[in-house]
Amino acid sequence: MGNCLSSHQNSNENQQKPNPSKKQSELPRSTYADEVKSECDLRDSFNRRSTKKKAIKITFRDQAETGQDAPNAVISDRVKTEKDNECILEALGKHFVFKGLRKELHQAIVSHMNYYELGPAEVIFEQNQSGNNFFVVESGDLEVIINGNRVKVLHPGDSFGELALLHDSARSATVKSITKTGLWGLARSTFRKALEKINATYYEENKNFVNTVPLFNILTPKQKETLVFALSSFKFADRENIVNEGDPGDLLYIIKEGFVICTQKGVEIRRMNAGEYFGDQALLYGSARTATITANGNVTCIAIGREKLIRVLGNNLHQIIYKNSQKIAIDKSKSLSQLTTEQTNSLIAAMEIKTFEAGIRVVSRGSVKGRQLVIVLKGKLKYSDTSIEKFQCLGDEEITNETTESYEHDVFADEDTDCAVISKEKFQNCIGGRYANATANNEALKVMKKIQLLRGLSNERLQALCRVLYVQEYEDGFEIVQQNSPGDSFFIVKSGKVEVYKDGQMIRTIKKLDYFGERSLMFDKFRSATVKSKGHSSCWILRKSDFLSTIDESMRARLLKRIFLQDDKIGIDELVPVKVLGRGMFGVVLLTTHRTKGSLYALKAVKRTKIEEYQLQAMMLQERNILMEIDHTLILKLVRTFKDSKRLYFLFEYVRGLDLFDVLRELGLVKEPDALFYTSCLLCILEHLHERDIIYRDLKPENVMIDDEGYPKLIDFGTAKIVSGRTYTILGTPHYMAPEIIIGKGYGIAVDYWSLGIMLYEFICGCVPFGNDEEEPYEIYEKILERRILFPPWLNKNVGVRSVIEQLLSKNPAMRHGGSIENLKANAWLASIDWEKLLDKLLPTPYIPELPDLDKEIEKAIKNPKTIENILHSLEEEEDAHSSRKQNNNDPETWDAAF
């Protein structure tokens, strides 16, 4: 489908302008130590090819089984002999599709294979035909024919068609039987279902095991989810020692199957069964093993080591646990829970962790209670007859009320205790001043973050606005604003409630933490209603003059643009079509202008017949739901949706610019500061999506526009999905797909970080790192799973960008963001970025597209208006009215009610 944007440079291969200064060399396949080329030649090898084709996209629609392989075969569920099993397993072991799977999965897959019997000269499938099955030759010979020429003969033990197990793609050759033939066949739907079922079971088991370990109880759900990805599985034979007493160790083991015997100096001390664990002290401290653990019978364990845990969670476990403990204690405190997320994080980061042995004095009698804040992280404190337990605070009420009251007794550690401690001075520095002042407008800040008009502002800018708020109290019946009077202030109800009257009639009530008058900040308009206080009330007030002095002119212009995009009352009959922006398999995108306001929009239209034909109902709803959920300055904005009896419509903001694919061909090799800029922008986009549990799943240059300010904007949410946990669908663009998508293990948000790593490599090196010279998905997938990253010689090993690429392209998904997006953003290579200025669009950009003037086209469209219906009807008539796909619409008639 066409993009909702403007791309003024055609990117088809035969229309690209090759750059004569760049050699079209092949990416070196051997290691650089073995290369005999000069560094200059190698540099040319990594130059971006101006003629590279845009990548083919794999979608979940490709999963459907649309044809039948071996149509003349007799298919049966024949019982497999031991020899059959060995033959099939040997064939499976040759292909990357199966190499990454556990052995128990191999056996499960074998059990699902059916037997195909064919006579001589029978076609299994034809070149360019869609395919559904993978085959292993049991008997007979077959020929492989490409473009009419025999290129290979297959014999018993050979296999073919494995790519069909991943997705529906055209067969690259014709395969025919030469003699009477027997084949073992496996259908894609059967393979994917078996794979998903087994992996989902394995994932749930590991997740449950993580939840059984008390050590991990303090971790957040997202941290636990990350931990599941980092677990390894080990099998131990009967009487095999898993760990030995006295040996150094750093692995925590959780027993999955079987049971073990624990001995000290040869004496049995206990037995442990499935679900129990050992080695937590080794994990925390790397201490010597205190016992020998021996398998009694066959035992399976899952394990995680200290080093991997640090790489996964981004810090040592103690600090992770203590930070989580501090957060729990702060949330439980009546006064500290009023702090914003930013204030809380700053406070946690500044607190000092102190250890006190049992009986040690922690706070002296006579000390002022408000002088410091203490949070108990482990153990407990004793104050007279009162115990301060884990997750409790000492001095929280006093430090916020600034009391001068003193402790009447000493505070002691009742047992070995760890505490987080901070002084009053540092506390106030963290939260931005005295508690009363620093938290006075926190509720208002939370409201302002939700206001559509202000959502484009950074957190820093919103806090600046909060500092100029003032509070006004009103008595019952007081007119806060009057209908038809000039508006120059915005109001948030702080307490009580107010009533809205229009022409003397009460139309609604506005309660605490609701707001009114926000458009007065941007426009010189008269009040459309009267607002009166109902009983005693108070409001936070932001004057227009204070608002305009806090934001600069460029920011005001962007806010005005966002306001126009928030006009969800616009009707489709108010739009005039200007030109076609794009046409795709499922619909058309038009550039339109508002008949009176002159605002430009991109209108995407999708025929209902196409939706039914390709069963796109769920995809349409998913795309709409996701786009309605997100609002970010670097993401394409959905204004609203329409529907009629023929089509569904998406009305988007119109982005003037070029897609990043074409921009990269203008820039050639991207300089490191420019790569840093683009990568940082994309990180901000992913952060916004992942906070909402949205996986994008197709991050690549073609899906990023560079707008007329030079900033990237993410488009095309057709493959995005809201996911809590894992999903299993194979989709995306092969060169940018993460390994876990390909092998069907299930995946989460980490696949987007992999795609970002591919793009960062592409920025710096001029090509994708895996399968750059390949067009066949199978060959690309093999390269991805090999994960052999070659860096050009001029990219020094110590260069920060190289370490970021390697981290993002970690085969283990849990390693890619280093524990959290915050940890990734704190990487030394990214440390120079001013994230607030980036989101405010105040940083210089590497490239601003030169774009043609649209005024004449728009003027012509308005003078000689055509209807959207006529243009779409004309375009649709050009399509073939008949379809080979079977329509199977089982969705209720009301499925599109949200549009």
Which residues sit in the known binding site?
A: 604
CA angle 253, 256, 259 (to 5 degrees): 85
CA distance 162 to 587: 32
Catalytically active residues are 698
Q: Beta-strand (E) ranges in 711-819?
A: 712-714, 721-722
Query: Exposed (0-12), middle (13-18) or buried (19+): which is 614, by Cβ within 10 Å?
Result: middle
Residues 291 and 299: their CA atoms lie apart, in Å, by: 18
From residue 36, alpha-carbon distances to 41, 47, 766, 772, 773 in Å are 10, 18, 21, 21, 20
At 211, list the tokens.
Answer: 């939840």
Class of residue 164 by CB neighbours under 10 A (exposed 0-12, middle 13-18, buried 19+): buried
| Amino acid at the residue 896 | D
C-alpha pair distances (Å), 75 with each of 112, 117, 728: 13, 7, 29
Sorted by sequence, the CB contacts under 8 Å of residue 835 that are 6+ apart come out as 680, 684, 825
Q: How far is CA 26 from the centre of its chain?
A: 33
> By C-alpha distance, which of 1, 187, 63, 228 is closest to 615?
63
Place of tokens 């069964």: 273
Q: What is the largest CA-CA distance in the chain?
A: 99
Calpha distance 445→456 (Å, rounded): 14
867 phi and psi angles, rounded to 5 deg: -90, 150
Residue 267 CB: number of other CB atoms within 10 A? 8
With residues binned 3-state (H G I as helix, E B as strand, rest as coil), the percentages for the chain, rounded to 5, are 35, 25, 40
* Bind-site residues for ATP: 604
Nearest to 766 by CA among 55, 48, 50, 54: 48
Q: Which of 23, 17, 16 is nearest to 766 (CA)?
A: 23
Torsion of CA 458, 464, 465, 468, to 10 degrees: 180
Beta carbons of 376 and 389 less than 8 angstroms apart? yes
What backbone phi and psi angles, to 5 degrees, belong to 409? -135, 165
Residues near 564 by beta carbon (within 8 Å), at least 6 away in sequence: 597, 599
Handedness of CA 446, 451, 452, 454 (dihedral sign): negative
Tokens linked to 595: 């008949």
For residue 16, what are its two tokens?
Answer: 């690209």
* Token pair of 583 as six digits: 């046409």
CA distance 227 to 657: 41
Residue 637 near residue 567, CB atoms below 8 Å: no
Type of residue found at 82: E
Query: In this structure, what token pair is assigned to residue 452?
Result: 């559509």
Pick from 723, 684, 688, 718: nearest CA to 702: 718
Q: For residue 743, count other CB atoms closer than 10 A to its CB.
A: 22
Joined together, the tokens standing for residue 411 give 């505070």
In degrees and rounded to multiples of 5, residue 132 shows phi and psi of -125, -15
User: Rounded distance, CA 496 to CA 481, Å?
Assistant: 16
Is residue 134 classed as helix, strand or coil in its secondary structure?
Answer: strand
Gyration radius (Cα) of the chain, Å: 32
Place of tokens 């901070």: 422
